[in-house]
Structure 1
Amino acid sequence: MRCSVSSAPTVPANRPGLSAGAVEVRLRLPNGYASAVAAVAFAAVLYKVVRSGAVSSALSSIVTSALHAI
């Protein structure tokens, strides 16, 4: 895995939320890493949704009714 940080940090111009003395550092990731990070973030959100009480009980009843139908 190779990541690089731009050699000279830049001072952001007119960026909301950053003070005048703030330094902006940009991280450059190899191709495909942004998609991988997005996939992991999506998986984490999906896990939280599936583990919620309402969804968990709905999935449980679906599986139970499917097993009783066999």
Structure 2
Amino acid sequence: MRSPASARPPPVGHATWAQRCWDHPGLYAVGCGSMPSVATSNPTLTMAALALRSAGAVARELDARDRPADLVPGAAL
């Protein structure tokens, strides 16, 4: 039993290291589906770590996208 691998380009993987889908910009598939195989023990801490890493990537993407424009003094608006 395996799920699609993360951090591999299509068609092998479905998402980047931050669980961002390759085919749909802005779509993050955060959750247990990114586990490369079935865990033999409780995967709670692993899933929490992956979610935190993805949250940081989402925050950086939103900061870069929604950054206010730099205005040049004296330029026409």
Q: TM-score when scaled to structure 1?
A: 0.33
> Rg larger in 1 or in 2?
1
**TM-score, normalising length: structure 2:** 0.31
Higher helix share: 1
